[in-house]
Structure 1
Amino acid sequence: APGSSEPSAPAPGPAPSARPRPDRPYAVLRLPSLRVTAPIAEGISKHGVLDKGYVGHYAGTAQPGRAGNLALAGHRNTHGEPFRHLDRLRAGDRIVVETREAVFTYLVDKILPETSARDGGVIAPVPRSAVRTAYGYGERGYYVTLTTCTPEFTSRYRLVVWGRLASTRPR
């Protein structure tokens, strides 16, 4: 069941109608507890995505509502700063991703306050820090990962917020 330690998860969400085009918004991210609403675009390029105030989808990671890890990046400072207060998210907070097909609600359950900017394990299909081994998951599932720079006004480290899919509602 969603939110439990069992590896079973909600049924997959509806398949996207088309593969997202690079640098183009195709979904909306809502972080209700932070009062954030931001478009999600394919890719994480600074010029094409992040500097436009979009949240970027890491290419090769899961799409919303699909098995694996939906990994997203956003600026903490400047360019709309959608992840300005990402450090204020807490366990149980909702991460909502809306596509043309469905609304996917994930619940925050793990936070990695700081890791190396090169810690690619945090966006792996089964997300787990390759640097701070006590952080992450041990089984396949339906995850979302939010990443941003930390401390504020630097890009030295990454702050990582993880959640699990709790519900899917077709549009």
Structure 2
Amino acid sequence: MILPIVAYGHPVLRKMCEDITPDYPQLEQLLANMWETMYASNGVGLAAPQINRPIRLFVVDSEQIINSLEEDEKKDFPGDNGIKQAFINAHIVSTAGEEWAYNEGCLSIPKVREDVYRPESVTLRYVDEKFQPQEKTFTGITARVIFHEYDHIDGKLFIDHLKPLKRRMIKGKLEDISKGKINVDYKMIFHK
């Protein structure tokens, strides 16, 4: 089932999310809905707060980005073949490498894209869909998408990484989004 995406301005996007247990109600269906919602909205990642659930859960499909790159662009991301994976109860163990810019957007902040600087790699501790503990390091585009989705479960948005001048320049667009003055081809939830 395709779920509505929470728009900028909704308080759930600013909540520090909670870990969940294996008996979380209908987790398998929730994950299936998140994948379906992400693809229907042309996203490459989706975090639970974006569908109005303040829990530490997100899904990432960076394979679609990697597969869309030209061969000469792929060399910029050695060892990153992309992933299609769910992350439950994720917590960052460490980050490494120099920060680099990439033009990010967000389903909750439609039609706003800005360059954001993030480290080259991230090591995460999390559980998979079977609640098996995992600890892995991700690099390149995959790390980028993970950082972005991880921010959501910590109550942060990609615009929080922008310099104050850039934030002021997009203030009007953000206000329009929070008031529902935006047209997108997917259903959104606006805070009243």
TM-score, length-scaled by structure 2:
0.29
The structure having more radius of gyration, on CA atoms, is 2
TM-score, length-scaled by structure 1:
0.32
Give 1 or 2: higher helix fraction.
2
